[in-house]
C-alpha cells in the first residue's frame, strides 16, 4: 500500500512530472490525429476506388479483347456456386481515343487523349460505381444515353430539310436527263414549243447522251450520346472575390465531342465519330473524371470492328468476403482462356500497398516522439533517485525490500504513462473530431489554407478513428514510459541502506 501512496505523492508534488505527462500527452495526441487522418484518406480512397470498380473483373489481353462475352457469361451462370455468389454482370470495352471539342470558355478547339469506355447503361448501373456518379441522372430510375429532346428535334429538322433538298435535286436530275434525250432546250419559249417539237421529230436520230448519275440519297444520322468525365468538361477557376475555386464548364450538355480511336483489325485504321454530351461523370477519382468518356457499347463495338468482342466483364458479388473463392473458381472455368481475373484490390494493389507502407513508416517516425518523452522520463527519474537517496535508505532501513523500492519507481512511470496517455487521447480525439473547424480557423488567422480541397479533390479533411488503433497508441505510450523507468528503478533498488543514509 505504501508504494501507491508514495507514487501518488510524487506525482502530485513533483512539477517535473508534469513535463513528462505533457510529453506523453502530445505524443499520443499527435499519433491519434495523424493516424485518424491517414486512415480517413485511406478509407476515402478505398471507397472511391471500390465505388468506381466492380468487385471482380475479367479482362482480355491487348486491344482486341476477347471473343463471345455473352457466351462466357452463360458459362459463369451455369456454375451453381458462381450463380449463387454473383449478383450482376456487365460487359464493357475500354480503349484509347483522342477527343476533340469546342471549349466554350476559351472559344478554341481543344484536343486531348481520353479513355473511351463502351458500356450498356442498365447492366453497368447494376454492377455499381456508375449511376451514383452521374451528375444529371443520378436520381433517374433508368439512366440512358438518350440525347436531349431539343437536340433530337434539331437533327430531325436538319434531316427533313436535307431530304427535301435531295428530293428536289433528284427531280432536277430527271428533268435534265429527259431534256437531254429529247434535245429540247429547257428554256424554250412557250410560243416556239411546237416548232421545236416538229424539228425534233423530223430531224435525224441523235446519239443518246449518257444520263447523269442520280445523287446519292442523303440520310442525316442522329449522333449517339456520351457521358464525359467531369474534369474533361470543366476547368478550375479561382474567383477573385472570395478566392475560392469554382468549376467552369468547358463542354455543355448538348455540345458535340468528336472521338478518334483505332480499329482492332490486323491493320490499324483510324475510326472516328461524333457524339452529343448528355451527362457528366463525377466520381471523385481524377483517374476517371479527367480521362473517361462513356459511350454505348454496341456503337463502340461497331466503330472499332469488335463485333461480339469485349474488353472486360465486370462482376458484382452478393458477399465480397467470398471474392477470393470466386476468383479461384473463375480461374478453373476459364483455365484455357486468355483472361486475367482480378479483384478490385488486386487491380489497385500497388496504390493500396503504397498507402499502407506510408502509414507504417509514419507511425514509426511518430512513435519516436513518444520515445523522446521516454528519455525525458529517464532523465527526471534519475534526478528523483538522486534527490531521494536518503528517503530510499530510510525505506530500506524500515524493512522495504529492493523489489518494493523498484516497484515504487516502475509504478510511478506507469502512472505518468497512464495519465499522459489519458489526456493525450482526449486531446487527440477532440482535434480529430473538430479538425475541419480548426483548419478553417487557422486559414482565417493566417490567410492561407492548410488543406486545399482543389488539390486533394476532397471537400474536407477525411478522418477515421479506429478504436483498436487508439488502444495500440495508448499501450505503446504506457509501455515506453515503463521501459524508460526501469533503469532508474534498478539504480534505486540496488542502493545499500547504510550508504543511502550517509548520502549528502
pLDDT in tens, 334-393: 888 888 889 888 887 777 788 788 878 877 877 777 777 778 777 777 777 666 666 666
Average pLDDT of span 73-99? 91
The answer to whether residue 210 is domain-embedded is no
**Quick one: 416 and 474 in the same domain?**
yes
Per-residue model confidence (pLDDT) at position 127: 87
The answer to whether residue 180 is domain-embedded is yes
Tens of pLDDT, residue by residue over 264-309, are: 877 778 888 989 999 999 887 778 888 999 999 999 998 888 888 8
Per-residue model confidence (pLDDT) at position 216: 47
> What's the total number of domains in the chain?
3
Q: Residue 247, Cβ neighbours under 10 Å: how many? A: 15
Average pLDDT of span 457-483? 84
Cα angle 236, 288, 61 (rounded to 5 degrees) comes to 150
Per-residue model confidence (pLDDT) at position 15: 65
Task: Give the closest residue to 28 by CA, choosing from 457, 491, 423, 377.
Answer: 423
Of 20-24, 119-123, 291-295, 402-406, the poorest mean pLDDT is in: 402-406
End of a domain among 344, 367, 389?
344
The answer to whether residue 214 is domain-embedded is no
Of 178-182, 432-436, 494-498, the poorest mean pLDDT is in: 178-182
Tens of pLDDT, residue by residue over 188-227, are: 455 555 554 455 445 544 445 555 554 444 455 668 899 9
Per-residue model confidence (pLDDT) at position 426: 94
Per-residue model confidence (pLDDT) at position 401: 65
Tens of pLDDT, residue by residue over 103-135, are: 888 888 899 999 999 999 888 888 877 888 888
**Quick one: 399 and 330 in the same domain?**
no
**CA 504, CA 215: separation in Å to the nearest integer?**
120
**Quick one: 96 and 182 in the same domain?**
no
The answer to whether residue 231 is domain-embedded is yes
**Quick one: 112 and 133 in the same domain?**
yes
Per-residue model confidence (pLDDT) at position 204: 47
**CA 416, CA 423: separation in Å to the nearest integer?**
11
> In terms of DSSP H, where are the helices of 447-496?
453-456, 467-493
Q: Which three cell numbers stand for residue 182?
A: 429529247
Per-residue model confidence (pLDDT) at position 481: 84
Per-residue model confidence (pLDDT) at position 34: 86
**CA 232, CA 214: separation in Å to the nearest integer?**
44
How large a percentage of the chain has pLDDT more than 90?
A: 17
Q: Is 44 helix (H, G, I), strand (E, B) or coil?
A: helix
The answer to whether residue 207 is domain-embedded is no
End of a domain among 315, 344, 373?
344
**Quick one: 119 and 266 in the same domain?**
yes
- Give the residue numbers spanning the domain of 127: 54-147+223-344
Per-residue model confidence (pLDDT) at position 267: 75
The answer to whether residue 178 is domain-embedded is yes
**Quick one: 83 and 155 in the same domain?**
no
Q: What is the band of 244 on the pLDDT scale with cuts at 50, 70, 90?
A: low
Per-residue model confidence (pLDDT) at position 8: 56
**CA 491, CA 405: separation in Å to the nearest integer?**
10
**Quick one: 278 and 416 in the same domain?**
no
Of 32-41, 108-117, 329-338, 406-415, the poorest mean pLDDT is in: 406-415
Per-residue model confidence (pLDDT) at position 177: 58
The answer to whether residue 380 is domain-embedded is yes
End of a domain among 314, 344, 374?
344
Highest-pLDDT range among 133-142, 237-246, 350-359, 445-454:
133-142
**Quick one: 261 and 378 in the same domain?**
no
More confident residue, 183 or 95: 95
Whether 425 has a pLDDT exceeding 90, the answer reads yes
Residue 492: burial class (beta carbons within 10 Å; 0-12, 13-18, 19+): buried
Mean pLDDT across the chain: 78
**Quick one: 235 and 325 in the same domain?**
yes
Q: Are 122 and 142 in contact (CB under 8 A)?
A: yes
The answer to whether residue 196 is domain-embedded is yes
**CA 416, CA 492: separation in Å to the nearest integer?**
18
**Quick one: 245 and 134 in the same domain?**
yes
**Quick one: 374 and 487 in the same domain?**
yes
Per-residue model confidence (pLDDT) at position 406: 73
Q: Is 98 helix (H, G, I), strand (E, B) or coil?
A: strand
**Quick one: 195 and 286 in the same domain?**
no
Amino acid at each position: 500500500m505504501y508504494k501507491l501512496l508514495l507514487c501518488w505523492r510524487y506525482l502530485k508534488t513533483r512539477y517535473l512530472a508534469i513535463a513528462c505527462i505533457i510529453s506523453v500527452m502530445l505524443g499520443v495526441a499527435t499519433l491519434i490525429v495523424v493516424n485518424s487522418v491517414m486512415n480517413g484518406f485511406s478509407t476515402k480512397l478505398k471507397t472511391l476506388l471500390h465505388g468506381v470498380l466492380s468487385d471482380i473483373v475479367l479482362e482480355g489481353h491487348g486491344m482486341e479483347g476477347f471473343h463471345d462475352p455473352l457466351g462466357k457469361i452463360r458459362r459463369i451462370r451455369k456454375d451453381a456456386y458462381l450463380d449463387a455468389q454473383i449478383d450482376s454482370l456487365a460487359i464493357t470495352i475500354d480503349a484509347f481515343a483522342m477527343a476533340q471539342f469546342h471549349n466554350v470558355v476559351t472559344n478554341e478547339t481543344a484536343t486531348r487523349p481520353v479513355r473511351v469506355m463502351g458500356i450498356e447503361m442498365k447492366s453497368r448501373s447494376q454492377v455499381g460505381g456508375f449511376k451514383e456518379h452521374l451528375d444529371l441522372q443520378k436520381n433517374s430510375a433508368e439512366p440512358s444515353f438518350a440525347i436531349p429532346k431539343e437536340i433530337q428535334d434539331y437533327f430531325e429538322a436538319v434531316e427533313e430539310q436535307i431530304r427535301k433538298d435531295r428530293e428536289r435535286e433528284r427531280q432536277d436530275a430527271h428533268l435534265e436527263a429527259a431534256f437531254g434525250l429529247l434535245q429540247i432546250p429547257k428554256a424554250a419559249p412557250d410560243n416556239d414549243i411546237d416548232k421545236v417539237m416538229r424539228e425534233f421529230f423530223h430531224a435525224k436520230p441523235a446519239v443518246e447522251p449518257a444520263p447523269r448519275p442520280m445523287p446519292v440519297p442523303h440520310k442525316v444520322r442522329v449522333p449517339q450520346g456520351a457521358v464525359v468525365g467531369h474534369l474533361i468538361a470543366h476547368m478550375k477557376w479561382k474567383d477573385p472575390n472570395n478566392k475560392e475555386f469554382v468549376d467552369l464548364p468547358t463542354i455543355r450538355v448538348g455540345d458535340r465531342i468528336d472521338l478518334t480511336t483505332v480499329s482492332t483489325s490486323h491493320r490499324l485504321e483510324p475510326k472516328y465519330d461524333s457524339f452529343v454530351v448528355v451527362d457528366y461523370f463525377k466520381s471523385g477519382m481524377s483517374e476517371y473524371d479527367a480521362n473517361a468518356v462513356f459511350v454505348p457499347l454496341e456503337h463502340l463495338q461497331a466503330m472499332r470492328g469488335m463485333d461480339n468482342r469485349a474488353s472486360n466483364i465486370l462482376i458484382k458479388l452478393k458477399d465480397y468476403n467470398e471474392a477470393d473463392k470466386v476468383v479461384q473458381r473463375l480461374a478453373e472455368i476459364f483455365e484455357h482462356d486468355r483472361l486475367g481475373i482480378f479483384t478490385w484490390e488486386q487491380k489497385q494493389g500497388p496504390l493500396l500497398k503504397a498507402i499502407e507502407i506510408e502509414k507504417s513508416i509514419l507511425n514509426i517516425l511518430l512513435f519516436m516522439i513518444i520515445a523522446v518523452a521516454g528519455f525525458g522520463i529517464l532523465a527526471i527519474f534519475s534526478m528523483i533517485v538522486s534527490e531521494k537517496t536518503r528517503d530510499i535508505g530510510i525505506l530500506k532501513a524500515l524493512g522495504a525490500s529492493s523489489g518494493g523500492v523498484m516497484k515504487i519507481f516502475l509504478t510511478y512511470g506507469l502512472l505518468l504513462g497512464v495519465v499522459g496517455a489519458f489526456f493525450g487521447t482526449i486531446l487527440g480525439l477532440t482535434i480529430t473530431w473538430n479538425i475541419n473547424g480548426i483548419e478553417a480557423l487557422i486559414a482565417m488567422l493566417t490567410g492561407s489554407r492548410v488543406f486545399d480541397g482543389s488539390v486533394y479533390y476532397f471537400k474536407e479533411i477525411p478522418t477515421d478513428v479506429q478504436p483498436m488503433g487508439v488502444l495500440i497508441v495508448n499501450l505503446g505510450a504506457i509501455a515506453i514510459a515503463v521501459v524508460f523507468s526501469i533503469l532508474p528503478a534498478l539504480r534505486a533498488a540496488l542502493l545499500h541502506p547504510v550508504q543511502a543514509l550517509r548520502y549528502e
